[in-house]
Amino acid sequence: MNADGKARTLIAVLTGVVMAMLWLSPAAAQGFAGLGTTAEGFAIPSRDRRLQFPEDHGAHPEYRIEWWYLTATLTGQDGQDYGVQWTLFRSALAPYEDDGWNSPQVWMGHAGLTTATRHFSAERFGRGGVGQAGVTTDPFKAWIDEWHMTSQSHPEEDALDRLDVHAQGEDFAFSLEFTAQGPLVFQGDEGYSVKSPTGQASHYYSQPFYTVSGVLSLPDGPVTVSGQGWLDREWSSQPLADDQAGWDWVSLSFEDGHRMMGFQLRGTEIFTAGTWITPEGDATPLADGAVQFKPLQHTSIKGRDVPTHWQIDWPDGALSITTEPLNPHAWMDLSINYWEGPLRFSGTHSGRGYLEMTGY
Amino acid sequence: MTRSALSALLSHWLRNPVQLVMLLAGLALATALWSGVQALNAEARAAYATAEGLLSDGGTSQLEHPRGQIDEAHFVQFRRAGWQVSPVLEGRVEIGQARVTVLGIEPLTAPAGAGPALAATDLQAFFNGLGYAHPQTLREIGTSDLRLQASEAIPMGTILLDIGTAQSVLERPGQITRLTVGNVQPQDRAALQALAPDMRLLPPGEAPELSGLTDSFHLNLTAFGLLAFAVGLFIVHSAVGLAFEQRRVMFRTLRALGVPLRHLTACLAAELLVFAVLAGSAGLVLGYVLASLLLPDVALTLRGLYGAPVPGSLQFNPLWAASGLGMTLAGTALAGGQALWRLWHLPLLAPAQPRAWAIASDRGMRVQAVAAVLLALLALGLGQFGSGLMMGFALLAATLLAAALAVPLFLSAILRHATTFARAPVAQWFWADSRQNLPRLSLALMALMLALSANIGVGTMVASFRATFIDWLDLRLVAEVNVIPRSQAEAQDLQVFLARHAQAALPMQRIDAQLAGQQAQIYAMMDHATFRDNWPLISPVDDVWDRLAAGDGILVNEQLYRRAGLQSGVSFLDLPEIGAQQVLGAYPDYGNPLAQAVVTLDQFVAAYPQTPIRQFAVRTETPQELIAVLQDEFGLPSSQITDQAQAKSLSMAIFERTFVITRALNILTLMVAAIALFAALVTLSGMRLAQLAPLWALGLTVRQLAGLELLRALVLGGLTLLLALPVGLALAQILLSVINVQAFGWRLPMQVFPADWARLAAWAMLAVLIAAALPAVRLWRRGAAQLLRVFAHER
């Protein structure tokens, strides 16, 4: 091989590896995005830990991974449905923060925008320590490059009650205001969310009561939108068990004001969990097996067979719904790829929601 | 029938094996020299491509500051304004035993195409200081404090580090050299004007590139390769032409027997094709070996001169082989075309009379004379009105070609004169016969003239350069001791210490910058007698040193002076942070590819505070004592202290390396020319029996005849050498005052070295003697019987 060819191989290796090395699972690593790898030296989530704010809105560098995850189901002035995702991931190479280039904290941003016919996505990478990306709690701001999620809350409110959110890619952008209409909701046992029968867990809370308004910038021009939003905050050091290859996760907003979160983790056995949330914010955890996920229809995306239509049953709650995605091709075609997009559901209940599927 | 014709044609080579060997050797050597040079160029270019893929980030735009460095805060500022940029810090530093380029990158933001082949688990190690370097660079470095891992993907002489590590290794905390701008950018981003109005966006390809700097070096090599190839083709031409002449009778017989002309021509063409493929393949192998042998020196030269990373080992490239073989085939077609054309137009029963042939060539001679004059006029015109490196080579080619074409005319004129002065019959015959055979030898003599004049020209250029360089080094390296501080704290301490213990400690500070659109460095100079007394200046203004000390202007190096067309006392140059400054003079700065400007220390410190002191040039009367004290007091290792002698020998070593390849190619070209002459003489000797036999019959001994043959070769060789001398000197003048100025940016005074000429003359005459000896000895050995047979022969 000549030198030029070598350089090109290097590029391939680089783009394939460096960008995704922290998140993507090579064949040898375990679980989706390496989330099943062991957590030596990192803090382990504890059932006894009680969440504290505003501190826990900020980063937890002693844990291996963490995210600030916003989704919104929107309707435009044009009457069309839209979906938006804004996520900041943190991944630690070592369980501490340090100044400047010595920081072992690596940040990744994902943005998605879904229409009925198109799906846009973009990603960013950055290093902690120098100011390119990070999260501050006072005032609250999470950012990577020019993408940001900035608190506009009044002093007496929770920092996450009002958020300005912005992200953009090569051919899309969005600027949205999120306003909370209810309290924060703790998932699992007071925010301790178990992920497998062997006890892998994370700290996990949500703000599922946002109303959203703002502007999407699309190739055909700007669209004014409004709708509902959902924020997930989660951190852990090993949220998946060795054998778990991926998950299917939904957040649902019912027409009567209830909310529901549910997921199944696909390992040698299926592990499920969920939370039933009243309009006032009272949360009921749903134990393993309480919620059942059944794929109804698959979509072929880039050679993968992805279940994009689901039947979700919660017999104890007399709930049985089928979901239909706004766009079955809502594939986040990034260094780490997965499916993430808005849906509508009907059956015993109806409403809108967001679906995330990884490991396909 | 074709088969019988072919076997008859080929039998000629069985009877004339020496001629066959000459033909094949000529082709193989020509191919070897050409393809060897091509292999060297290709290898070096491939290395640049790798380096540029890594260094200038594969065709992305760059954001730079005229000062050559940027605060790293700009990186975050740009990112948060929507610009997809990545920081790069680049600098040269001594690590272990080697001087290397440190390249600091930020792998998370680096555009695809830049960055190391990091395995997933290595990112943390990379962040924590692990570096990557080519295995050969690792060997050159030896042991060092850095943790380095081998990677073939990294260019030679470069260490790839994380940006943070690079900042500490280069002692440039918080600084970056440039921002690479990703090819994909988001919808909205702030305007560059609003963000950093003093920074400049360079589109892809405008960032300084190695290939630009080294182009002239490769052009030099290519020109040499082409010259060698052309000389090789002379051999082929004469061998093919003579084989044709000798087989004239055979052609006639074959045609008379009914072999169609088309068949005969096809057979000869096929014969040439087979020879070309056989010899070309052998030439490729030879060329590969030659390139492998020369590559380490070329690599060292390129690294020493330009800091260009070139590996010391050669890789085989099929495309190179194909193009080399193609060149051989084209060359063979060119050299053999005339023979085939003549065969095609050969009358069935044409006479084969040498004298008639010679008369016919008189007409050709006149055409040749006109061509030589026209080429000489062209050369004059180019020298007067042309500019640029390509023009320089065109001038060179025109001069050489004109001189080569003039060789037979010149020799013919001299021989005619000699004939008129000769009184004795044998002498008269000798001169007349020499003249008659001149057309057959003229191509070989032209080849010899080309090789000799190239040898004289290049030799004079190298020797002139060497002499100038040594004088210049003596003046430039006037400081008795050079000390390199290991940190800026140590630099401060050293300054205080040296102020007391040495006569002077002249700090060396510099920054990278752009001057007149060129990659440049700005140096600080303390006003001191060291510089006033020793620095030779080119066209300085009056009171140049006083005016420089007063901050009245700047000095620039010769490269910048000539490339930017500056004029002392007239031109102004814009310096970042300092502004427009008058150019007060230029100084020679051999071996440096970069532009340079010198300002006073005060100006420098005011404009570029916090610039580290890289070195102290220390003046002292007791250098060895001072070195000992420095080692004791500061614990400075010997790698941080060099005395004058060391510095000089290092510079000279690099210089000598630079011309190893030139010398090697020079000698090889001369060898090819000697073989050309040999081929011509050997084949001629076979045909001359008919001319010599009557002389033998008139009473000259075979021994005398052989001696006369030898003498004639020496006379013709000697005359060619005489002609080659002025041509070679003209060549040297063109190289020194045209090619060097264009390629490197410096003009050198020509010095002549007659001792070198004498040595070359001795070698050339020896080559001629050897070339002429075999045919002469053969004549002597064959003796009278052979000559007698001539009279029985049909001719």
pLDDT for position B654: 63
**A213, A177 Cβ separation under 8 angstroms:** yes
Interface of A with B (CB under 8 A): 2-4, 6-7, 9-11, 13-15, 17-19, 21-22, 26, 29, 93-94, 100-102, 104, 106, 122, 125-127, 130-132, 143, 145-146, 168-173, 217
Q: Which residues of chain B from 133 to 162 reach within 8 Å of chain A, CB to CB? A: 152-153, 162
Which residue in B115, B152, B315 is closest to A14 by CB distance?
B115
Is omega for the bond preceding A54 within 30 degrees of 0, making it cis? yes
Q: What percent of chain B has pLDDT over 70?
A: 85
Per-residue pLDDT, averaged over B278-301, amounts to 84
pLDDT for position A183: 95
CA angle B426, B431, B436 (to 5 degrees): 120
Residue with the bigger pLDDT between B31 and B662: it is: B31
**Has residue B655 got a pLDDT over 70?**
no
pLDDT for position B637: 74
Residue with the bigger pLDDT between B602 and B246: it is: B602
pLDDT for position A9: 31
Residue B569: partners with Cβ closer than 8 Å, 6 or more residues away? B541, B582, B583, B584
pLDDT for position B112: 59
Per-residue pLDDT, averaged over B373-401, amounts to 82
pLDDT for position A253: 97
pLDDT for position A326: 96
**Has residue B639 got a pLDDT over 90?**
no
**B690-749 pLDDT tens trace:** 778 888 888 888 888 888 888 888 888 899 889 899 999 998 888 888 877 776 677 778
B219 — pLDDT class (breaks 50, 70, 90): low
Per-residue pLDDT, averaged over A244-259, amounts to 92
**Has residue A135 got a pLDDT over 90?**
yes
pLDDT for position B380: 86
Shortest Cα distance, chain B CAs vs residue A21, angstroms: 5
Domains of chain A: 3-357 (2.40.370.10)
**B529-541 pLDDT tens trace:** 888 888 888 889 9
**A43-76 pLDDT tens trace:** 889 999 999 989 999 999 999 889 999 999 999 9
Do B82 and A3 count as a contact with CB atoms less than 8 A apart?
no
Sign of CA dihedral A145, A147, A151, A152: positive
Per-residue pLDDT, averaged over B260-265, amounts to 84
Which residue in B127, B185, B315 is closest to A104 by CB distance?
B127
Per-residue pLDDT, averaged over A346-351, amounts to 96
Per-residue pLDDT, averaged over B197-206, amounts to 70
Q: Which residues of chain B from 39 to 98 reach within 8 Å of chain A, CB to CB? A: 46-47, 49-50, 53-54, 58, 72, 75-76, 79-82, 84
* Residue B116 near chain A (CB below 8 Å): yes
Q: What is the DSSP secondary structure assignment for residue A328, as one 8-state letter? A: T
Query: Least CA distance to B151: which residue of chain A?
Result: A10
Residue B653: partners with Cβ closer than 8 Å, 6 or more residues away? none
Give which of B55, B56, B74, B80 to mutate to test A binding, by max A Cβ within 10 Å: B80
Do A18 and B118 count as a contact with CB atoms less than 8 A apart?
yes
Per-residue pLDDT, averaged over B35-50, amounts to 75
Give dist(CA B437, CA B440) in Å, integer. 6
- Tell me how long chain B is: 795
**Has residue B785 got a pLDDT over 80?**
no
Do B118 and A17 count as a contact with CB atoms less than 8 A apart?
yes
Shortest Cα distance, chain B CAs vs residue A28, angstroms: 11
The rounded mean pLDDT for chain B is 80
**Has residue A206 got a pLDDT over 70?**
yes
Please tell me the least confidently modeled range out of A80-94, A234-248, B307-321.
B307-321
B664 — pLDDT class (breaks 50, 70, 90): confident
**A324-336 pLDDT tens trace:** 999 999 999 988 8
**Has residue B684 got a pLDDT over 80?**
no
Per-residue pLDDT, averaged over B299-319, amounts to 67
How many CB atoms within 10 Å of residue B14? 9
**B739-756 pLDDT tens trace:** 777 766 777 788 888 888
**B30, B233 Cβ separation under 8 angstroms:** yes
Give dist(CA B30, CA B225) in Å, integer. 9
Give dist(CA A146, CA B79) in Å, integer. 7
**B137-156 pLDDT tens trace:** 898 888 888 899 888 777 77
Per-residue pLDDT, averaged over B589-600, amounts to 82
How many residue contacts between A and B have a Cβ separation below 8 Å? 126
Q: What percent of chain B has pLDDT over 90?
A: 7
pLDDT for position A3: 33
Do B118 and A14 count as a contact with CB atoms less than 8 A apart?
yes
Do B315 and A2 count as a contact with CB atoms less than 8 A apart?
yes
Residue with the bigger pLDDT between B350 and A303: it is: A303
Sign of CA dihedral B280, B281, B284, B289: negative
Give dist(CA A313, CA A292) in Å, integer. 5
Q: Break chain B into its structural domains and give their ranges.
A: 1-56+216-352, 58-208, 476-646
pLDDT for position B646: 73
Per-residue pLDDT, averaged over A270-287, amounts to 94
Give which of B55, B72, B89, B127 to mutate to test A binding, by max A Cβ within 10 Å: B127
pLDDT for position B347: 62
